[in-house]
Structure formats: structure tokens, C-alpha cells
């Protein structure tokens, strides 16, 4: 099959990185990205982009660890290169603190991030309400820069991008050979996945350039993540809420919680409020599906449902999705050569 | 009791504040004045990035290690206070890099979370095979000196823009105690062959993605002659120049090239950073800090000088410990004056 035509639906971190992996692995493919939103209006743009994984209950730990390792290694190399600032990738050190000692003292990713160790007593003194903590160094992907950098590299390889709301994957069957579904929370409507649900996150983006370290409460609800220009303060995890409107009461609550972890934030300026819906699922849907109607077939690769772990797992799942696209293309080529007989 | 502080860098202003805080209520007649030819942002302190970090070795000056610790602990206590932002005070983590294993520094238990670097971390820094990670403090003098000035002004301390030519000049005005915080130019008031300039130069860039300090060390080149990158609250400071005995405060294009090339090699992403400012200054280098009393006789009178200068490249790091030591010396002067002249009002 000459130049298989692949459509990637979705232009968040998963869509763009999946397109990138397809282009890298199957350069003969013609890849097009279709999305109703592009940066700075994707869910990814709201996320702080910290490489601190969340555990998906439905995926084996060793798989999640491999995805995280792949992602970390990929970003680590960029952070160490001249492209780091354009790509928005930077190292950041800090602390994860717990009011009560966690059940799992060593998370599965502790040997992937850098310098992971328990906090010393002296370090914990800064957090009088917390009794236990972990110190480590990890990476942060600032958005929009990271997404824009991916878009730039994709365009340089000839990938086309179109603003288009795809209502049904089948609509694409006549124009494309393979469709990759990276629609994130949009998959709920696009493919009717009832197992996909939003976890609403509200964050504040403030100007506080003296904050150089991240601080995260182990409960995952309160966090301070310093980005290139702004510090992201969070947050919320409201399951089932589809509201994209910032809530002023929540804003005050987030600010107060973060100030109790880092009092100097009281001096933060220019508070921007953002809301994103984490596309949550028991496990990431990373699998092939063959749609068919009236004898016509459309291979689909699903890569959505990353929940809180989009950034942490994006490159690893993108590589797997690209591999599945390769399988789809091989299957198409196999059946088309059979058809010639 | 008239006290004149000469010098308005981090040493002068902090010593003034420390003495005033401790003794003003005990000595109601205390009148304090600050004299300096240069004020913020034109002092040596203003050019420093502001990272709290002593030299690798204290050369047996245990007292200096104690003063460093006192300073760190004092600043750490202020971290959570509302004043921290105005003071220019914040926590920062980072790396010290070496080409060979070195003994742990005297300050390893003063800073937070001191540890050796892992092999994965060293991959970030080709050419360096050993290193440390720790969390320390930044105290930016462009904020700290104005904060100190404000505190002093509130206490009605007076400021004079004036180059003091001699201690006698002060005594002739009726000053009882002079606090000599004149830094690198202390030799102009009293010759000191041990005091030498340690010329430094820096480039300030816009590189807000850098969140760690990175200090490299080259045992052969000596302290600060190896590249360093220190991110401030606004700009990031690139440096790595230490020229002993060089009094030239002009920017050197050769030094600029050295700093730029070395720092970009250390952190390739810096190649894209915009250069905003350059500065050159003279560290007041001395084998040890001069922190002592001296009684100076003029005519049939005697007056006291407390010397507090020669803090090299660690002035910010050691300032509060020295200020408190200077305040103790001031206390002993007060004690002696009290014993020498008992109250005569009883007659």
C-alpha cells in the first residue's frame, strides 16, 4: 500500500505524540491530525505536565512503569539539549508530603525519577502538618510550549492539521485507511464509551517566580508546580463533573491550601483560573478495533483514557499506539494483496 | 552614644540592623548613622546572585562555619514569614559538580537534604563524574538591601551618601563607635595587606526554565573560576570568574566569552537565552574575615572601631552570623563604658 493515510483524531499531548511516533516509525504514512481544539485550548494545556504518574487500577504495573520510563527517557534527552526551552521541558526538584505515612512507601516510579529518597527531618520541618515525605527530581512539560513544539516538528515532516469536529469515526472511512482515536474526554461522545468519565480539575496559574521547587500533598489534591513562566496551583478531582467553568469558591480554597504548604504564595500575582476534564478510565484504552459497515472496513487504534497520567505516560502509549497502527497497515496490505488474487 | 556604620552593602546594613535591634532599647541615647559612597543597587552585594553557599573548605576557620550556620538558620526561620518575598528570600535546590570525588563540605548538615549525585543525574553533566545535590537558600540583595534600608529607616537610622576618608573624620564629628564594613576598599581607611580584590564577572540572562543552581568546581582553577548558573527570581546569573588581585571593575570581553561558552556547554538550552545585563565586581577576599575590635586613640580620647570586612565570595552566606558577632563586640564596648563611667547623678 503506497503511503497509507492515517488520521489522528485529537491534538492534545496524546494525539500529537502519537502522530509523532507514527511518523517516526512509519515514514511512508501520510498522517493528518483532526481536532476540534488545538493548543492552547486542549485539556493538556490546563495540566501542569508534571511527570509524576498516577496508578491506573486496570493496567499491570510493569506496563505502566515501561510507559513512564519511555516517556521520562524521551523528555530527559530533550531537557538536556538546546531545544529544551522551546519544547518547554525542564527539570524540577521538590517534595511529596504526607499527613499520614502512605501504604506504599516506594511507588513504582521511584527508580525512574531522579534522586528519589525519603525527606530528612530538617526538610519535613518546613511542613509541620505532614509527617512523612519523599524528595526527588522529575521533569515538567510546560504547555502550550510542548504542544506547539510537537506541532512544529510534525508540520516539518509534512503532517497536516485541520480544525474539524469529528462526530463519528466512521465519517473518516472514505478518506483514510487507519484512524487513531486520541480524543481524550471527547471519546465519551465520539465512540460512546460509558467507562470514560471526567475528573474535573481546577487550577490556578500565578506569577510567583521565586518558587523553584514543587510541593505536592500525597493526597493528590494540593500541589504547587513551578513552570517556566507561571506556577500551577491545584487542585480538584471531582469525578463526573462536566463543568468547564471556574468556580470562585474553589479558587479561594485551592489558594488557601497551597498557601498553607508554601506561605510565600500569598505574594503571588496575576491569578489565572483554568479548568480541565481529566479523561479518566480504569485503564487506558489502547487497542485496535475494526469498524465495518456494508463490507467496508476501517481499522481504528484507540489511545485514550489517560486520566491524570497523560503527560507521565504519553510517549510510552504513543509508541504502543504507533505499533498497533503498524499492525493495522500490515493487515490492510495483507488483505489487499489477497484481494489481488 | 553615636554609632557610625561605614559601608552599605549586605554587611554594613545587616550589622547596623542587628546592633540597633539588640541595643536600642537598652541604650536610649543610641544614635546610628550609615555612611557609604555606594548604595543599592551599586554595591558589591547587589552583583552577587545571592546563593547561600560557603566555599568548599573552611580552611580551619571553624568560627566562620558557625557564622554560616547561624545565617542559614536565621534565614530559614524567615522563609515562612510574610517578609520573605520582600526580602528576596526563597529556597532553591541544585547541583555541585566535580571531576573527581571530594570530601563532604563543612556545610553538609547545614543545608537541607544534602546527598551525592546518582549516576543518572551525572548523565546530565558530561565531563563531571561526582557531585552533590542539596537544597539551600537564595537571598537577593537587590531586594534584601532595600528591605534592610526600610527597617533601618523605620528605626530612624540616618543615611549619608559620603565617602569617608578616615576614622578620624568620624571621631571628629563626635562618633563614639565606628563599624567598619567597607568591604574591598577597607584598605583605604587602614592598610590591610591581607585584603585583596577577587574580581568576578557575570552575565544575566532570561532563562526562566532553569530551576536549579549548578556550580561546577575545578580543583586546578580554584574557587569560582569554573562555570556556574544560578537562577534568580527574575533573571538567571551565569558566572565563573575569580581573578585575585585584579581591581578592574570594567567588563572584560574575554571573560564574557569564557562565561558564555562554558555555561552553554554546561546547559545547552542556554544558547537560546537572551542576555540582559552584565556586571563586574570585586569580592573582598581575605584569608579570614576581619571581625574584631580596635581601640583608636585620637588626642587624649579613645574611640572604638569594630571591623567587619573581608567576606570574599561568601558575604551573603555569612552575613548574619557576623552581624551578631559584631553586635556582641558592641555589647562589650557598652559594658566597658558603663564600668568606666558610673552614673554621677547620685551626687
Total domain count, chain A: 1
Is the interface score ipTM higher than 0.85? yes
Q: Which of B284, B308, B334 corresponds to the end of one domain?
A: B284
Instruction: Return the residue of A nearest to B73 by Cα.
Output: A122
Spans in chain A with pLDDT lower than 70: 1, 336-341
Question: Are residue B241 and residue B220 in the same domain, yes or no?
Answer: yes
**C-beta atoms surrounding B337 within 10 Å:** 14
| Contact (CB, 8 A) for A180 and A8 | yes
Asked whether residue A251 is marked as a ligand-binding residue, the answer is no
DSSP H or E segment with residue A146: helix A145-156
Q: Tell me the pLDDT tens digit for each residue of A187-208.
A: 999 999 999 999 999 999 999 9
Query: A281 to chain B, minimum CA–CA distance in Å?
Result: 33
* Domain membership of residue A200 as a residue range: 5-335
The residues facing A204 across adjacent strands are A233, A273
Question: Which residues from A are below 8 Å from B231, CB to CB?
Answer: 212
Question: Are residue B20 and residue B156 in the same domain, yes or no?
Answer: yes
In terms of DSSP H, where are the helices of chain B?
A: 10-23, 44-47, 62-78, 83-87, 119-122, 141-154, 167-172, 253-266, 315-340
pLDDT of A56 reads 87
* Domain membership of residue B10 as a residue range: 1-50+140-193+286-346
> Is the pLDDT reported for residue B193 higher than 60?
yes
- B300: pLDDT confidence band, cut at 50, 70 and 90? confident
Q: Is residue A340 one of the residues assigned to a domain?
A: no
Dist CA A135 CA B129 (whole Å) = 22
Q: Which of B254, B284, B314 corresponds to the end of one domain?
A: B284
**C-beta atoms surrounding A124 within 10 Å:** 18
Which residues contact residue B145 at a Cβ distance below 8 angstroms, ignoring those fewer than 6 apart? B8, B9, B10, B13, B39, B40, B41, B43, B45, B46
Q: Tell me if residue B310 falls in helix, strand or coil.
A: coil
Q: Tell me the pLDDT tens digit for each residue of B83-100.
A: 999 999 999 999 999 999
Contact B211 A86 (CB under 8 A): no
Q: Is residue A185 one of the residues assigned to a domain?
A: yes
Of A140, A152, A181, A189, the closest CA to residue A14 belongs to A181
Contact B233 A266 (CB under 8 A): no
Question: Are residue B223 and residue B167 in the same domain, yes or no?
Answer: no
> What's A105's domain CATH number?
3.40.50.720
Contact B209 A228 (CB under 8 A): yes
pLDDT of A265 reads 96
Q: Mean of the per-residue pLDDT values for chain B?
A: 95
Which of A72, A89, A93 best tests the B interface by mutation, with the highest count of B CBs <10 A? A93
Question: Which residues from A are below 8 Å from B273, CB to CB?
Answer: 85
> What's B317's domain CATH number?
3.40.50.720
Dist CA A223 CA A208 (whole Å) = 14
**C-beta atoms surrounding A341 within 10 Å:** 4
Q: Is residue B326 one of the residues assigned to a domain?
A: yes
The residues facing A84 across adjacent strands are none
pTM for the whole thing? Answer: 0.94
Total domain count, chain B: 2
Question: Are residue B187 and residue B202 in the same domain, yes or no?
Answer: no
Q: What does DSSP assign to residue B2?
A: E
Q: Is residue B27 one of the residues assigned to a domain?
A: yes
Question: Which residues from A are below 8 Å from B90, CB to CB?
Answer: 210-212, 264
Dist CA A63 CA A220 (whole Å) = 22
pLDDT of B347 reads 38
> What's B270's domain CATH number?
3.30.9.10
Of A83, A137, A210, which has the smallest distance from its Cβ to B90's Cβ? A210
Q: Is residue A315 one of the residues assigned to a domain?
A: yes
pLDDT of A337 reads 66
Amino acid at each position: 500500500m503506497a503511503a497509507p493515510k492515517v488520521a489522528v483524531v485529537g491534538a492534545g499531548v496524546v494525539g500529537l505524540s502519537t502522530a509523532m511516533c507514527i511518523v517516526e516509525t512509519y515514514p511512508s504514512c501520510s498522517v493528518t491530525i483532526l481536532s476540534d481544539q488545538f493548543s492552547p485550548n486542549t485539556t493538556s494545556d490546563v495540566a501542569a505536565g508534571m511527570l509524576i504518574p498516577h496508578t491506573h487500577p486496570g493496567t499491570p504495573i510493569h506496563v505502566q512503569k515501561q510507559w513512564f520510563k519511555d516517556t521520562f527517557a524521551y523528555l530527559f534527552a530533550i531537557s538536556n539539549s538546546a531545544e529544551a526551552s522551546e519544547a518547554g521541558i525542564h527539570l524540577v526538584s521538590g517534595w511529596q508530603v504526607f499527613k499520614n505515612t502512605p501504604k506504599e512507601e516506594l511507588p513504582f516510579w521511584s527508580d525512574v525519577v531522579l534522586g528519589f529518597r525519603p525527606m530528612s527531618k530538617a526538610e519535613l520541618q518546613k511542613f509541620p502538618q505532614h509527617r512523612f515525605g519523599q524528595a526527588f527530581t522529575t521533569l515538567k512539560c510546560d504547555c502550550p510550549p510542548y504542544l506547539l513544539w510537537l506541532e512544529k516538528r510534525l508540520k516539518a515532516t509534512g503532517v497536516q492539521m485541520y480544525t474539524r469536529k469529528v462526530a463519528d469515526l466512521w465519517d473518516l472511512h472514505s478518506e483514510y485507511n487507519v484512524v487513531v482515536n486520541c480524543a481524550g474526554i471527547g471519546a465519551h461522545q465520539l465512540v460512546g464509551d460509558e467507562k470514560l468519565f471526567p475528573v474535573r480539575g481546577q487550577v490556578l496559574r500565578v506569577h510567583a517566580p521565586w518558587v523553584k521547587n514543587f510541593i505536592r500533598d500525597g493526597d493528590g489534591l494540593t500541589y504547587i508546580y513551578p513552570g517556566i513562566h507561571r506556577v500551577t496551583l491545584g487542585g480538584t478531582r471531582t469525578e463526573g463533573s462536566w463543568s468547564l467553568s471556574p468556580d470562585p469558591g474553589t479558587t479561594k480554597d485551592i489558594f488557601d491550601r497551597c498557601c498553607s504548604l508554601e506561605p510565600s504564595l500569598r505574594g503571588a500575582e496575576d491569578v489565572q483560573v483554568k479548568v480541565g476534564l481529566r479523561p479518566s478510565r480504569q485503564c487506558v484504552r489502547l487497542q485496535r478495533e475494526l469498524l465495518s459497515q456494508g463490507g467496508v472496513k476501517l481499522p481504528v487504534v484507540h489511545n485514550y483514557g489517560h486520566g491524570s497520567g497523560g503527560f507521565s505516560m504519553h510517549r510510552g502509549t504513543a509508541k504502543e499506539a504507533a505499533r498497533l497502527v503498524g499492525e493495522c497497515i500490515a493487515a490492510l496490505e495483507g488483505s489487499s494483496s489477497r484481494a489481488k488474487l | 552614644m553615636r554609632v557610625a556604620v561605614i559601608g552599605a552593602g549586605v554587611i554594613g546594613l545587616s550589622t547596623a540592623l542587628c546592633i540597633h535591634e539588640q541595643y536600642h532599647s537598652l541604650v536610649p541615647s543610641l544614635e546610628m548613622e550609615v555612611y557609604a559612597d555606594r548604595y543599592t543597587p551599586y554595591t558589591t552585594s547587589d552583583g552577587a546572585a545571592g546563593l547561600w553557599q560557603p566555599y568548599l573548605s573552611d580552611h580551619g576557620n571553624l568560627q566562620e562555619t558557625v557564622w554560616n550556620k547561624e545565617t542559614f538558620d536565621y534565614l530559614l526561620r524567615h522563609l515562612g514569614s510574610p517578609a520573605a518575598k520582600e526580602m528576596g528570600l526563597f529556597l532553591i535546590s541544585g547541583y555541585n559538580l566535580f571531576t573527581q570525588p571530594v570530601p563532604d563540605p563543612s556545610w553538609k548538615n547545614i543545608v537541607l537534604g544534602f546527598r551525592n549525585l546518582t549516576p543518572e543525574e551525572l548523565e546530565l553533566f558530561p565531563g563531571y563524574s561526582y557531585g552533590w545535590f542539596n537544597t539551600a537558600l537564595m537571598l537577593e540583595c537587590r531586594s534584601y538591601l532595600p528591605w534592610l534600608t526600610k527597617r533601618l529607616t523605620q528605626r530612624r537610622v540616618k543615611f549619608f551618601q559620603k565617602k569617608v576618608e578616615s576614622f578620624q573624620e568620624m571621631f571628629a564629628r563626635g562618633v563614639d563607635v565606628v563599624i567598619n564594613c567597607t568591604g574591598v576598599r577597607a584598605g583605604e581607611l587602614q592598610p590591610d595587606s591581607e585584603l585583596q580584590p577577587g574580581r568576578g564577572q557575570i552575565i544575566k540572562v532570561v532563562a526562566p526554565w532553569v530551576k536549579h543552581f549548578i556550580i561546577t568546581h575545578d580543583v586546578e582553577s580554584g574557587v569560582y573560576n569554573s562555570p556556574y548558573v544560578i537562577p534568580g527570581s527574575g533573571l538567571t546569573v551565569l558566572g565563573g570568574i575569580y581573578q585575585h588581585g585584579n581591581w578592574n571593575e570594567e567588563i572584560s570581553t574575554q571573560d564574557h566569552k569564557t562565561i558564555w561558552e562554558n555555561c552553554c556547554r554546561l546547559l545547552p538550552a542556554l544558547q537560546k537565552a537572551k542576555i540582559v545585563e552584565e556586571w563586574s565586581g570585586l569580592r573582598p577576599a581575605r584569608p579570614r574575615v576581619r571581625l574584631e575590635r580596635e581601640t583608636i586613640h585620637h588626642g587624649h580620647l579613645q574611640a572604638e572601631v569594630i571591623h567587619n570586612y573581608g567576606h570574599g565570595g561568601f558575604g551573603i552566606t555569612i552575613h548574619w552570623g557576623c552581624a551578631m558577632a559584631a553586635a556582641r563586640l558592641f555589647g562589650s564596648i557598652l559594658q566597658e563604658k558603663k564600668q568606666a563611667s558610673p552614673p554621677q547623678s547620685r551626687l
